[in-house]
Amino acid sequence: MEKLMIAGGRPLRGTVQISGAKNSAIALIPAAILSESTVTLDNLPELSDVAIYCELLEELGATVERQQDQLKIDPSRLVSKPMPNGNVKKLRASYYLMGALLGRFGEAVIGLPGGCNFEPRPIDQHIKGFEALGAQVTTENGALHIKAKQLQGAKIYLDVVSVGATINIMLAASRAKGVTIIENAAKEPEIIDVATLLNAMGAKIKGAGTENIRIEGVDSMHGCVHSIIPDRIQAGTYMIAAAATRGDVIIDNVIPKHLEALTAKLQEMGVHIYEMDESIRVVGQAEYESIDVKALVYPGFATDLQSPMSTLLTQTKGVSILSDYVYSNRFKHIPELARMGAKIKLEGRSAIIEGGKLSAAKVKATDLRAGAALVIAGLTVGDGVTEVTGVEYIDRGYDHLVMNLSNLGAEVWRQQS
């Protein structure tokens, strides 16, 4: 196994190019199998989850060809095949194959998801959607068996605002007979990205990005070319790292609007932010005010930036309160930050974070955003080398991390652990 070694204390300076969004890519790739001909995806990130999804599609008989950041998927020879085990267990988002295979073939057998383990991640809303569309859903030997003679459009109210359920229902409903309305839908940019691809493939979806999405089913869908939106969470992570190291960094190839909530909170702390059309410049300051942060569904502050933000809040003068209203226990990085001297108390959904100096330590990443929080912590520490194990988690969401940080002046390297 590998670990990341970080000799911090140096301000990050320069420009970093943001890649395509992981949480789009791992929905767009399965969405492509709804087409009868080749779908080309541009701006593909280089991540382990993407590689696993390409293997899953090849197991289903699709031809997948990757050239740099372009992926060509030819699903014309796709077959309906049960996938109870194997690669589906390696990533949580393999559940998108349920909606895609259901839409394409009217059936799916998919092993229940694996992936990040910060807390139980139910898929009851996905199942509620599939059943509303007329599918029978049973759980056998740790896999979901889904079957529908004919998918029928329906009105589906999501009890919980869920990105995954919204996308999964959109995938299946694209090929149902009649109209489906998803109410209380999630509004994340990645949902708009998936709807944009599906419409380019011939689907008829309106309202993606709002709480009501209307999908009129179509009989067949065709290939197209689609460019993946930039990864707002990767971008936000570098913004936070720039602020934490008191650096001066231009984060390039972003959609500033997708980062509005983070930008507002950083400015509230005293970070100087300059927005351009497709980039954001972050200039760190010597002192920051403590603030309160609430992680909410989009367009609120992203829960995926909650962990990196907790590291930055250790760099303020006072006491900050960081609450997560999406996940109730996404704080496994807090004990690791405490090993670096962070003074953080957990109370229910909130972390009470007192500003103070961090010191180098051996720490372990337990999920991808927790890993990012620990890397940022290491970057702020000048007296010693921080060792972060669990790099395989970090590699799921941050491509070219060591190269990008080194180009920004950080002293970071990988080492066998």
Nearer to ligand EPZ, 129 or 284 (CB): 129
Is position 93 an interface residue for ligand EPZ (rule: CB under 6 A)? yes
| Backbone phi, psi, residue 267, to 5° | -65, -40
Nearer to ligand EPZ, 30 or 355 (CB): 30
Rounded distance, CA 374 to CA 382, Å? 14
Rounded distance, CA 198 to CA 100, Å? 11
HSE (side-chain half, CA atoms, 13 Å) at 295: 23
> Alpha helices of 187-289 — where are they, by DSSP H?
189-200, 232-244, 260-269
For 284, the token pair is 């760190």
Q: Enumerate the active-site residues.
A: 116
| Backbone phi, psi, residue 160, to 5° | -130, 135
Q: Which stretch binds ligand EPZ (CB under 6 A): 82-90, 163-171, 249-257, 310-318?
A: 163-171
Is position 163 an interface residue for ligand EPZ (rule: CB under 6 A)? yes
CB of 357 to ligand EPZ, least distance (A): 28
Is position 226 an interface residue for ligand EPZ (rule: CB under 6 A)? no
Q: Which string of DSSP letters, residue by residue, matches 244-271?
A: HTT-EEEEES--GGGGHHHHHHHHHHT-
DSSP character at residue 229: P
Instruction: Tell me which of 89, 104, 126, 332 binds ligand EPZ, using CB under 6 A.
Output: 126
Q: Which stretch binds ligand EPZ (CB under 6 A): 124-132, 311-319, 351-359, 405-413?
A: 124-132
Q: Is the dihedral of CA 326, 337, 347, 269 positive or negative?
A: negative
Q: Which of the residues 260 through 299 are near ligand EPZ (CB under 6 A)?
A: none
270 Rama sector, left if φ>0, alpha if ψ -120 to 50, beta otherwise: left
Instruction: Tell me which of 327, 359, 362, 385 binds ligand EPZ, using CB under 6 A.
Output: 327
Is position 116 an interface residue for ligand EPZ (rule: CB under 6 A)? yes
Rounded distance, CA 228 to CA 28, Å? 8
CB of 43 to ligand EPZ, least distance (A): 17
Binding map of ligand EPZ across residues 137-156, x = CB under 6 A, - = no contact: --------------------
CB of 148 to ligand EPZ, least distance (A): 19
CB of 31 to ligand EPZ, least distance (A): 13
Binding site for ligand EPZ (CB under 6 A): 23, 26, 93, 116, 121-126, 160, 162-165, 186, 303-304, 326-327, 368-369, 397
